[in-house]
Amino acid sequence: MLDVYEHYRVQPGHPLLSLENAVLTPHLSGMTQESRKRMGTAAAEETLRMLAGERPKNFVNPEVWSSFQGRFHEQRPENR
């Protein structure tokens, strides 16, 4: 089974599509109901954490945190 490709969409006519010994799936094959629930819960927890002014636990680009925090602080009703 192939779940991840060099390019996001395999174009029609790509040699992988003609392989008889391979199953190609969109990048979802590990998506169970349980994993979707965990992902949704984690996203909500991160959002609540950030709304409370706390740094998120799972951060891809930590270099933007101080800029985000400053803008968010200015927009809060109690700081206007």
| CA 12/CA 17 separation, integer angstroms | 8
Whether the full predicted model's pTM is greater than 0.75, yes or no, is no
Please report, for the chain, the start and end positions of each structural domain, with discontinuous segments joined by +. 1-30, 31-79
| CA 67/CA 80 separation, integer angstroms | 18
Q: What is the pLDDT of residues 16-75, one digit of tens each?
A: 888 888 888 777 766 788 988 998 999 999 999 888 888 888 888 888 888 888 777 665
Each residue of 54-66: b (16+ CB within 10 Å) or e?
A: eeeeeeeeeeeee
